[in-house]
Structure 1
Amino acid sequence: MPIYEYDCTTCGDFTALRPMAQRDVPCQCPACGSAARRVILTAPGLACMPGHTRRGMEINERSRHEPKNLEQYRESRRHPSGCSCCGPTQPVVASAANPHGLKGKPQGRPWMISH
């Protein structure tokens, strides 16, 4: 929901977080309770918002009205094909070159878990 600015005739200007459908409806002043009309005092800050924040807000707003089911999530995931965290993969089999069936080389960093 966007933040709108309103001007109370007795108390001055204030901001309110309201749905877009109610942007032109007068808002009740938090100090005195009288109806205040909407005014534009500052420029919107949407272009200055970081991209990851804007995308997160878009996803939250979209999921509020149309939550994804499991099939829609699987279609929209951005992992490469064969990613081990999203689906079944071929198990690592022990061989002569890899006697313990490890994913990585044991001499590298044995304390790290590969993805």
Structure 2
Amino acid sequence: MPLYEYECLDCGPFTELRPMADSALPCPCPDCGGDAPRAYLTAPMMACVGTERRIALETNERSQHNPMSVGEYAAKQAAKSHRAGCSCCTTTKKKKSATAKTPSGAKSFPSKRPWMISH
């Protein structure tokens, strides 16, 4: 349950742990028992929120007016994970194998390095 601030007109401000459904309702003052309306006295404590959650909240706040499409998100993620001209994203011709093969399909020594035995 969240912690909300209320301000009694006679006793002053106090905080109370209440369900979110009851946050807008007046809360009984712990000192005098009178109904105290909710007050916004301090800013939310964002310093206590973890870095990952804070970044997610900032991202959601920025995108509330113009959310990214699935295609835009995929392109952004692809741009982050690959450097320019990476081999998996470019379409190139298939490399010719360096291992020489006989007409029967048996492998022989590589043509470029005859001293190396392939496995």
Higher RCO (Cα < 8 Å, 6 or more apart) = 1
Pairwise TM-score range, normalised by the shorter structure = 0.3 to 0.5
Structure 2-normalised TM-score? 0.40
Structure with the larger helix share: 2
